[in-house]
Amino acid sequence: MAPTTLGALASKIRSKNAGPFWVTIDVFLPDDEAFTRAAAAPCLTADRIAGIYGANPSMVKIFRISELRTIKVSFPRSVPQGSTGDRDVHSAQQYIPLAAQPA
Amino acid sequence: MSDEVRNPVRVLVPVGMLGAGFPSDTVKRGIAMGADAIAVDGGSTDSGPYYLGAATPKTARAAVRRDLQAILAPAAEAGIPVIVGSCGTSGTDAGVDWVHEMVCEILHQDRIPGRTVARIYSELAPTALHDKLAAGDVRPLAPAGPLTREVLDGCAHVVGLMGHEPIAAALSAGANIVLAGRATDCALIAAVPLMRGKPFGPAWHAAKIAECGNLCTTGSGLGGVVVHVGDDGFVVEPVDETDRCTPFSVSAHMLYENADPFRLREPAGTLVATNAQYTALDERRVLVRGSEFEFAEDHTIKLEGSAPAGAQTVSIVGIREPEVLLRLDEWLDSLRAYLHNRIPEVLGIEPGDYDIDLRPYGANAVLGSADPDRTPPREVGVVFCATAADQPTATTIAKFANPYLLHHPLPGADSIPSWSFMSSPAEMERGTLFSFVLQHAVRVDDPLDLVRIVVEEVA
């Protein structure tokens, strides 16, 4: 298979706050084949997600939901929403680094 | 209309947020679809800690008033209750009063009879929680640690997220307009179905799906949704004829703004959607069965608190010089180091008493070192943020930084360049900053313990 990224496989990828202290990223895949491939992406481990986002690996949650052909990744924000160091108040574009990961 | 679920109670959610607007025929159409209640959310933490900290609405008064006006008269005519939650964005007492004043004004101006208005206040003085804290009834929620009295007392405002119980109590006391302080998004929608005996699983799941109005549809129309909550499941149906719900659009909304795709904690327990089945009834409506609710041993109220976090002054300087843009990190690092070196020495402000941040918008201001794209930008706007205990100190730092933002050279350059300020004066005072500091829940003996309900007939 030609190399690709999670973002290229996905029909839609989005990120948002889940309350002021969590980020959640949803990766929607268009078919079962794309889902199977995305679900096996090497970045989908707690340690790798923690490394990409500077999160505590013990708090990272990864869900592979085959019936929805969706992958969900949640982790605590590096700083609380809207505090002095925050640069993305809604966590609106935190999906970009995940989308660039190989799948 | 045939009922795909038994003995349904129907709730119209015209829009995801009061003040965001909806088509003029939405309420009429929703009532024609059999709405037993209208529920609309007036707030969220979504826009950050300022609105709770300053007890100020995010929404424009004129826009909120317009939406209220579009709802109140048709609801009175149909004789159905209206429930507004998280009034004034953060659900502080001031937010409840802000919406209440508008509602009374509209009821008088539009001569709407027979309305009894409940205000449910859920703001808490930090001192009111001291006993609960001492008794060990305040628990941290991940990723927070245990709450200290210092952090609690430092909050400018604290609110507790009510469940459906105070709303149901207000309706039972005779109210047909309920203006709630901070409430869970779902509580407003679940309240009437639960009062009329619908089971917790479908009631809370329907509420979660409908809480953002059209976000659970394919988005081809505005005008919100109606949920039909029955004894054996629920149906979600868009109000606008051109809009559609699909099993995908509905099930995907369970993921939205929720860290866990299957479980959602409410004060009385947890909605569990693991075994839910989503079936298309036709091109527009989705039937959901199998929603469950796990009752918690303790009733818990989640707290939100926002504390002052100093004041900030910002300046924006534009960089178009390709040499700097090729070595942008180096330029920013040397400027940051220079300022950190000089601020304590020249201004006498200790290193722990201020913060400076250089955010290169156009390069990687949003994602920082996590940005996967390292392509040099064509132009950046460097936003310089100076944060200190008070505004004069923050502005002093920004004024001190001004000539360096204007002239800082690339390391090794042999002449003094100039860069492009966006404005004169360059410094913009942002006022007090706030930070969310509570991620905790408090155990209560009774769901009504932390709220105050005022019910008044509006003549």
Q: CB distance B309–A61 less than 8 Å?
A: no
Of A89, A94, A100, the CB nearest to B47: A89
Quick one: B348 and B325 in the same domain? yes
Q: What is the pLDDT of residues A53-67, one digit of tens each?
A: 999 999 999 999 998
Instruction: Count Cβ atoms below 10 Å from residue B302 Cβ, excluding itself.
Output: 21
Sequence-ordered list of residues with C-beta below 8 angstroms from that of B103, at least 6 positions apart, any chain: B68, B72, B117, B177, B179, B458
Residue B184 in any domain: the answer is yes
Residue B39 in any domain: the answer is yes
Quick one: B226 and B370 in the same domain? no
Buried b / exposed e across B364-403, counting CB within 10 Å, b at 16+?
bbbbbebbeeeeebeebbbbbbbbbeebebbbbbbbbbbe
| Interface probe, candidates B184, B246, B255, chain A, greatest A C-beta count within 10 A | B255
- If you ran DSSP here, which 8-state letter would residue B377 be given? P
Residues of chain B neighbouring A94 (CB-CB closer than 8 A):
367
Q: CB distance B372–A93 less than 8 Å?
A: no
Quick one: B287 and B317 in the same domain? no
ipTM above 0.90, yes or no: yes
Question: What is residue B219's predicted lDDT score, i.e. its pLDDT?
Answer: 86
Residues of chain A neighbouring B434 (CB-CB closer than 8 A):
82
Quick one: B285 and B178 in the same domain? yes
Quick one: B73 and B214 in the same domain? yes
Question: What is residue B459's predicted lDDT score, i.e. its pLDDT?
Answer: 78
Residues of chain B neighbouring A70 (CB-CB closer than 8 A):
252, 255, 261
The answer to whether A21 faces chain B, any CB pair under 8 Å, is: yes
Of A87, A93, A96, the CB nearest to B359: A87
Residue B132 in any domain: the answer is no
Closest of B329, B320, B246 to residue B285, by C-alpha = B246
Q: Would you say B292 and B275 are in contact if contact means Cβ atoms under 8 Å apart?
A: yes
Total number of domains in chain B: 2
Shortest distance between the Cα of B304 and any Cα of chain A, in A, equals: 9
Instruction: Give residue for tokens 């609380």.
Output: A80
Quick one: B116 and B259 in the same domain? yes
Residues of chain A neighbouring B48 (CB-CB closer than 8 A):
20, 81-82, 86, 89
Q: Quick one: A6-77 is in which CATH superfamily?
A: ACT domain (3.30.70.260)
Question: What is residue B222's predicted lDDT score, i.e. its pLDDT?
Answer: 87
Instruction: Count Cβ atoms below 10 Å from residue B424 Cβ, excluding itself.
Output: 6
The answer to whether B359 faces chain A, any CB pair under 8 Å, is: yes
Secondary structure (H, E, C), chain A: CCCCEHHHHCCEEEEEECCCCEEEEEEECCCHHHHHHHHCCCCCCHHHHHHHHCCCHHHCEEEEEHHHCEEEEEEECCCCCCCCCCCCCCCCCCHHHHHCCEC
End-to-end CA distance of chain A: 10
Cα B132 to chain centroid distance, Å, stands at 26
- Reported confidence tier of residue A1, pLDDT bands at 50, 70, 90: confident
Domain CATH for B409: 3.30.70.600
Residue B140 in any domain: the answer is no
Residue B77 in any domain: the answer is yes
- If you ran DSSP here, which 8-state letter would residue B181 be given? S
Q: How many helices (H) and strands (E) in chain A? A: 4, 4
Sequence-ordered list of residues with C-beta below 8 angstroms from that of B136, at least 6 positions apart, any chain: none
Shortest distance between the Cα of B365 and any Cα of chain A, in A, equals: 7
- Residue ranges making up the domain that contains B54: 9-122+161-296
Instruction: Give residue for tokens 């991940």.
Output: B142
Structure-block tokens of residue B87: 């009034």
Quick one: B291 and B408 in the same domain? no
Q: Would you say B395 and B284 are in contact if contact means Cβ atoms under 8 Å apart?
A: no
Question: What is residue B2's predicted lDDT score, i.e. its pLDDT?
Answer: 54
Q: Would you say B238 and B220 are in contact if contact means Cβ atoms under 8 Å apart?
A: no
Residue B458 in any domain: the answer is no
Q: What is the pLDDT of residues A32-59, one digit of tens each?
A: 999 999 999 999 999 999 999 999 999 9
Structure-block tokens of residue B36: 């037993």
Q: CB distance B312–A84 less than 8 Å?
A: yes
Full pLDDT tens readout for chain B, 459 residues: 456 999 999 999 999 999 999 999 999 999 999 999 999 999 999 999 999 999 999 999 999 999 999 999 999 999 999 999 999 999 999 999 999 999 999 999 999 999 999 999 999 999 999 999 999 999 999 999 999 999 999 999 999 999 999 999 999 999 999 999 999 999 999 999 999 999 999 999 999 999 999 999 998 778 899 999 999 999 999 999 999 999 999 999 999 989 999 999 999 999 999 999 999 999 999 999 999 999 999 999 999 999 999 999 999 999 999 999 999 999 999 999 999 999 999 999 999 999 999 999 999 999 999 999 999 999 999 999 999 999 999 999 999 999 999 999 999 999 999 999 999 999 999 999 999 999 999 999 999 999 999 999 997
Closest of B85, B228, B88 to residue B166, by C-alpha = B85
Question: What is residue A3's predicted lDDT score, i.e. its pLDDT?
Answer: 85
Quick one: B198 and B258 in the same domain? yes
Quick one: B378 and B415 in the same domain? yes
Q: CB distance A84–B433 less than 8 Å?
A: yes
- Closest chain A residue to the Cα of B372, Cα to Cα: A97
Question: What is residue B235's predicted lDDT score, i.e. its pLDDT?
Answer: 98
Q: CB distance A18–B359 less than 8 Å?
A: no
Instruction: Count Cβ atoms below 10 Å from residue B262 Cβ, excluding itself.
Output: 18
Of B370, B371, B436, the CB nearest to A82: B436
Cα B201 to chain centroid distance, Å, stands at 24
Residue B236 in any domain: the answer is yes
The answer to whether A7 faces chain B, any CB pair under 8 Å, is: no
Shortest distance between the Cα of A100 and any Cα of chain B, in A, equals: 7
Quick one: B288 and B360 in the same domain? no
- Pairing mode of beta strands B440-444, B138-140: antiparallel
Rounded distance between C-alpha atoms, residue B205 and residue B290, angstroms: 10
Quick one: B429 and B322 in the same domain? yes
The answer to whether A90 faces chain B, any CB pair under 8 Å, is: yes
Residue B405 in any domain: the answer is yes
Quick one: B53 and B85 in the same domain? yes
The answer to whether A66 faces chain B, any CB pair under 8 Å, is: no
CA angle B123/B457/B227 to nearest 5° reads 70
The answer to whether A46 faces chain B, any CB pair under 8 Å, is: no
- Closest chain B residue to the Cα of A26, Cα to Cα: B255
Residues of chain B neighbouring A53 (CB-CB closer than 8 A):
370
- Pairing mode of beta strands B157-160, B123-124: antiparallel
